[in-house]
């Protein structure tokens, strides 16, 4: 149980284009989803928190117009990186949580490379 | 006050030995302390977690020791195996549900278990 998937696992895009990453909870309903980015050999950095049907809450320093988050259903959240630049290249990881529980279950991550 | 300090940064242990990773926190409002294991190119996986009402929790070869007065907690991996070689992250959060339940991650420990 508690499986979270991400799609795609890897994506390469050209500078200036937009890319969408999907995060799905496969066997449970996720009232809250979190998006992280991780640079090589570094820890996870929380980008934003989203509750189903509500606007995402972004961490300080994260551009909300650049990283668009949508949590339209209890099993799906999407992160769209708009006008991507090489410095946006990173490992993006989502996690999902059910109401009333502490545990966060993480997806396998998406490697984004912007050329 | 939101930081979680983790040590050591890297650790080399012989097969069969005990691996010990330590974390310290400042915010006494934290009430959930999980440990995650991450292999290269993968998302973190929840290993074991503890709440502050107990001082120790054991699951298989993995044990969390928690010292509330010292605001420290540690992960012990007994009979360490080469397959345990990974990066380990401690984390802490307070409450559950929504933006308040942010996981604050430690900086990570790269464990190498030598055969």
The per-residue pLDDT for B58 is: 97
A31/B103 CB distance under 8 A: no
Which residues of chain A carry a pLDDT beneath 70? Answer: none
* Residues ≥6 apart with Cβ < 8 Å to B52: B30, B31, B33, B66, B68
Distance from CA of A82 to the nearest CA of B (A): 23
How much of chain B exceeds pLDDT 70, in percent? 94
Q: B96 versus B47: which is more confidently predicted?
A: B47
User: How far is it, in rounded angstroms, from Cα A72 to Cα A81?
Assistant: 17
Residue pair B112/B10 in contact (Cβ under 8 Å)? The answer is: yes
The per-residue pLDDT for B100 is: 58
What is the rounded average pLDDT of the residues B15-23? 98
The per-residue pLDDT for A64 is: 93
The per-residue pLDDT for A100 is: 77
A57 touches chain B (CB under 8 A): yes
């Amino acid at each position: 149980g508690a499986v979270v998937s991400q799609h795609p696992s890897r994506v390469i895009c050209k500078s200036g284009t937009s890319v969408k990453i999907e995060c799905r909870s496969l066997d449970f309903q996720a009232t809250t989803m979190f998006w992280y980015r991780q640079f090589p050999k570094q820890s996870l950095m929380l980008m934003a928190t989203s509750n189903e049907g509500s606007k995402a809450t972004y961490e300080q320093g994260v551009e909300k117009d650049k990283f668009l988050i949508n949590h339209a259903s209890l099993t799906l959240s999407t992160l769209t990186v708009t006008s991507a630049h090489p410095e946006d290249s990173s490992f993006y990881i989502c996690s999902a949580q059910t109401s009333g529980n502490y545990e966060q279950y993480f997806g396998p991550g998406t490697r984004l490379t912007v050329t | 006050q939101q930081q979680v300090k983790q040590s050591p940064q890297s650790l080399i242990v012989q097969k069969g030995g005990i691996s010990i990773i330590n974390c310290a926190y400042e915010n006494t409002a934290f009430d959930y302390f999980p440990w995650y294991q991450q292999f290269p190119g993968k998302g973190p996986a929840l290993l074991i977690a503890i709440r502050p009402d107990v001082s120790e929790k054991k699951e298989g070869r993995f044990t969390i020791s928690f010292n509330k007065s010292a605001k420290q907690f540690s992960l012990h991996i007994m009979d360490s195996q080469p397959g345990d070689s990974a990066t380990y992250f401690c984390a802490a959060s307070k409450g559950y549900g929504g933006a308040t339940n942010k996981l604050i991650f430690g900086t990570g420990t790269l464990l190498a278990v030598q055969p």
